[in-house]
Every structure is written in C-alpha cells, then in structure tokens.
C-alpha cells in the first residue's frame, strides 16, 4: 500500500460536515470575496496566534511582498534572508524592487545563523549598511528560527523584521513572556494557506499577522486596491484578497489545528526514536523551540539511495530544497557562486523529507523507517562538511507544494 507524503483527504473527512454548513452560509450570503467568513477567519486566526491583527491576502508570497511594502521597504532597498528556503521568500523581495542579500543557515536547524547574520551586518561599510532595511528569517520546516535574538539584532541595526511563517502555523518559541507563536514576534508574520500547509485551504490563501495597527491598516489597503470605501482609493494597491470559500475551509481546519499539530509531534517523536540507531541526522529541535512539523527532515550523504528505496516501496518523500536560492537561475543576477553558503549547500545535498501528516498511522511510520533502514545502515561515515554539488531531481507530490 502506498504511503502518502501528505493526506488532505484524511483532513477533509474530519471537516466535511462543518464546511458543508459554512458553504450553505456562503451561498446564502452570496458574499464571495471578503465578508463574514473572511472577517471571522481573520479574528479567529488572530485569537489562535494571540496577535492584535490578521489581514488575509491571496497567498503567502503576497503576504511577504505586501508586509514588506507596508513596512516601507521598496525599490533600491536590500533585504537579508536565507538561501535555504522556497523561492517565494526571495521572489517577494525582488517583486518590490529590492535586492535579496543572503546569509547562511545554522546546519543543525536549517534556520538563519545568528553569527552569519551578525558578521554580514558588521562587514558592511556604513554606506552599504544604509541600504539594508529588513531581515526575513524563515521558520523552515515548521521549526521557529531564533526569533527573539533576531529581534534584538534587528533593533540594534534599525531593521524591520518580517517572519516568513509560511511553514509554521502553530509553531512556538520560548520568550521572556512565555511561549509565543511563530509569526507574532517580528514587525509582521507572513503565512501561506497553500493546501499542503499545516493550515491549508482548498486553493491559495495567505495572511499577515501583526501587533501594529498602522501596519495592519497599510496591509489591508495595499491588498484591496488602496480602498477607503468602495470607490475611494488612498493608493493604487493590489487585488490580493482571500475568498469566502477558502475562509470557510480555513475556519473549519483552524478548529483542528492544535490537535493536528499535536499528532504531527507524536509522529515526529516516533520517527526520532526509531531512527535513533541510524545515521539519519533529523533536523534538531532545540530546547525552547516547538516545531509544528510541517516537514520531518532527515539528512544523509546516502540521501539519493534512501529516496530511491522509499519510492520503490511506494512511500512518497520530498527534497526541500534541492537547489539553494543563491544557485537558482532566477537569482543568478545577484552574482553568488557555489561555495558561498556551505551550510545551505550541504543541506540541499543531503536533505530528505519523510511522510508527515496528522493521519499517518503507526504501521506507516514503521514501514517507512524499515525502508530507510535498508538503505541507511548504522553508518560510521562522517557527515560531509562541504559535499559536492550533485544534481538531484526535484521530488514532490501534487499536494506537497512548496
């Protein structure tokens, strides 16, 4: 029997009655863009995150693009991010006319390296430093980046902090005020509701979360034609809105999100325990960080052998991501070269995402680990510091998305 990478049908079974009732409400209100469903979702997601405002937009890429614009970042500015992420993180920076500047990741967590960020900022001559306006850390695979420390660095260098929380719905991190949700600590947090996300719609969707009323106002204006009223416009904005059908689905799934994330954490700890004797190198979950396990990622220099064994056994898996962004053709104009970001390149060469979803059962976990074991015996080989760049084909499933 095939083992799925994500199981959206399993989610649908749990929410179908609730969504059917909401769909009736959508059709009787005939309010298909914005309206009651979207407003309710924004309020409920803000409550879930414990943040002042959530503004729903059309997708996660727009959430990043519009959040940056709302914070005053634009043409000619520079924005620091990581190369080990989905293209949209950098594309949103490019789309506002700004230039992405990469810093490397921490090899243990896959998230932005604080020493790399600090040494990059300190190495810039004063006139170049002025162009840098914001930091966009990514909570990769659902594990929060070191956002408390990043906020301190952002304040020290007078930079805006925009969290790419597109993979981190419900992930939490310890702060001086207790555990806080990823996406609520920076100036703005950006979410994607692409179907395969922990909180996924039945199409595209996104949101910006913020504790700053003024930023929320600007995001709303930018995402809805700069509207003051139906035909009064303060700026020429964009059409980037969530529709009511997606909002109705998201409201139903939001009620399940805590439980589903908890189940993902159970799957993750089973994987960790069963994989412990192997040289599988799961991404670390440091003390004080609570991943929402959007993905469960192992690392191996035998990655391609493990992947082939899984695919042969009809177990879906993925590579997130096979080519770091500084080596993507779309960003070649930035002038980076292979070797510039060794930790990102090493992760791209060794990373493998195992099936991960709330409906994965014990048998499926066991079978997956058994197959991994056949290709990955108790290895004593050292983990490569700077592996060669081998061209790995992109693997994904229709629903795994970015």
Ligand X SMILES: Cc1ncc(COP(=O)(O)O)c(C=O)c1O
88 belongs to the binding site for ligand X (CB under 6 A): yes
CA angle 299, 358, 309 (to 5 degrees): 40
Give the Cα separation of 7 and 59 in Å (integer).
21
Determine contact, residues 348/84, Cβ cutoff 8 Å. yes
Shortest distance in whole angstroms from residue 93 CB to ligand X: 11
Give the Cα separation of 168 and 161 in Å (integer).
16
The residues, ordered by sequence, that sit 6+ positions from 232 with a Cβ below 8 Å of its Cβ are: none
| Binding residue (CB under 6 A) for ligand X from 194, 238, 260, 289 | 194
Q: Closer to ligand X at the Cβ: 186 or 206?
A: 206
Buried b (16+ CB within 10 A) or exposed e, 257-266: beebbebbbe
Determine contact, residues 38/247, Cβ cutoff 8 Å. yes
Give the Cα separation of 294 and 366 in Å (integer).
20
Question: In this structure, what are the phi and psi dihedrals at residue 184, rounded to the nearest 5 degrees?
Answer: -120, 5
Shortest distance in whole angstroms from residue 380 CB to ligand X: 34
| Binding residue (CB under 6 A) for ligand X from 137, 189, 206, 324 | 206
192 belongs to the binding site for ligand X (CB under 6 A): yes
Q: Closer to ligand X at the Cβ: 184 or 192?
A: 192
295 belongs to the binding site for ligand X (CB under 6 A): no
What x-and-dash track marks residues 45-64 binding ligand X by CB under 6 A? --------------xxx---
Shortest distance in whole angstroms from residue 190 CB to ligand X: 7
Q: How many residues bind ligand X (CB under 6 A)?
A: 17
Shortest distance in whole angstroms from residue 166 CB to ligand X: 4
Q: Closer to ligand X at the Cβ: 31 or 399?
A: 399
Q: Which stretch binds ligand X (CB under 6 A): 72-80, 83-91, 222-230, 359-367?
A: 83-91
In the region spanning residues 130 to 169, those forming contacts with ligand X, defined by CB under 6 A, are 138, 164, 166-167
Q: Which stretch binds ligand X (CB under 6 A): 71-79, 82-90, 259-267, 280-288?
A: 82-90
Q: Which DSSP state fits 101?
A: E
109 belongs to the binding site for ligand X (CB under 6 A): no
Q: Which DSSP state fits 195?
A: T
CA angle 393, 325, 68 (to 5 degrees): 135
| Binding residue (CB under 6 A) for ligand X from 11, 37, 81, 85 | 85
186 belongs to the binding site for ligand X (CB under 6 A): no
The residues, ordered by sequence, that sit 6+ positions from 155 with a Cβ below 8 Å of its Cβ are: none
Residue nearest to ligand X (CB): 60
Alpha helices (H) along 71-176: 87-95, 114-123, 126-129, 147-156
Residues of the shown chain interacting with ligand X in the complex, contacts defined by CB under 6 A: 59-61, 85-86, 88-89, 138, 164, 166-167, 192, 194, 204, 206, 401-402
């Amino acid at each position: 029997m095939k083992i799925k990478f994500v199981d959206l049908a399993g989610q649908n079974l749990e929410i179908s009655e609730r969504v059917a009732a909401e769909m009736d409400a959508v059709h009787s209100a005939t309010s298909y863009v914005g309206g009651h469903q979207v407003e309710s979702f924004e309020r409920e997601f803000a409550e879930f995150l414990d943040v002042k405002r959530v503004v729903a937009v059309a997708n996660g890429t727009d959430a990043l693009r519009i959040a940056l614009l709302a914070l005053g970042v634009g043409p000619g500015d520079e924005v620091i991010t990581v190369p080990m992420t989905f293209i949209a993180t950098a594309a949103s920076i490019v789309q506002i006319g700004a230039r992405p500047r990469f810093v490397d990741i921490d090899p243990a967590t896959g998230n932005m390296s604080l020493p790399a960020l600090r040494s990059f900022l300190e190495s810039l001559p004063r006139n170049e430093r002025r162009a840098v306006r914001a930091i966009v850390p990514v909570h990769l695979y659902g594990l929060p980046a070191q956002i408390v420390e990043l906020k301190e660095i952002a304040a020290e260098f007078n930079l805006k902090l925009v969290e790419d929380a597109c993979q981190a719905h419900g992930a939490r991190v310890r702060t001086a005020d207790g555990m806080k949700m990823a996406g609520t600590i920076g100036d703005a947090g950006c979410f994607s509701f692409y179907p395969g996300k922990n909180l996924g719609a039945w199409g595209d969707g996104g949101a910006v979360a913020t504790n700053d009323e003024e930023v929320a106002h600007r995001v709303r204006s930018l995402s809805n034609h700069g509207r003051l009223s139906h035909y009064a416009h303060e700026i020429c904005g964009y059409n980037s809105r969530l529709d009511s059908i997606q909002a109705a689905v998201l409201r139903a799934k939001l009620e399940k999100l805590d439980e589903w994330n908890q189940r993902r954490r159970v799957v993750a700890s089973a994987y960790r325990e069963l994989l412990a004797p192997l040289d599988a190198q799961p991404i670390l979950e440091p003390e004080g960080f609570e991943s929402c396990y959007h993905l469960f990622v192992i690392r191996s220099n035998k990655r391609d052998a493990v992947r082939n064994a899984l695919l042969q056994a009809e177990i879906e898996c993925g590579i997130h991501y096979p080519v770091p962004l500084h080596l993507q053709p779309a960003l070649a104009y930035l002038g980076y070269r292979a070797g510039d970001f060794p930790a990102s390149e090493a992760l791209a060469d060794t990373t493998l995402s195992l099936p991960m979803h709330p409906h994965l059962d014990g048998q499926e976990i066991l079978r997956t680990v058994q197959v991994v074991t056949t290709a990955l015996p108790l290895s004593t080989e050292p983990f490569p510091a700077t592996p060669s760049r081998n061209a790995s084909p992109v693997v994904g499933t229709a629903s795994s998305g970015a």
